[in-house]
Amino acid sequence: MKTMITQKLGEKTITNYIPANASDALAFAGAVMDGELTAYSASAPAGSDEASSSFATTVMIQQDSNGEKAYLNLVLKSTKDELDLFPALQGKTFNGVKADKIVMISFRGQTH
Kindly report, residue by residue over 2-13, the tens digit of the pLDDT: 888 899 988 888
Write the single-letter amino acid at 85: L
CB atoms closer than 10 angstroms to residue 24? 14
pLDDT in tens, the chain (112 residues): 688 889 998 888 888 888 788 888 888 888 888 899 999 887 655 555 555 566 778 889 999 999 999 998 887 777 887 788 889 999 999 888 999 999 988 877 655 4
Rounded Cα distance, 70 and 86, in Å: 15
- For residue 58, the model assigns a pLDDT of 87
Q: Is the CB of residue 96 less than 8 Å from the CB of residue 68?
A: yes
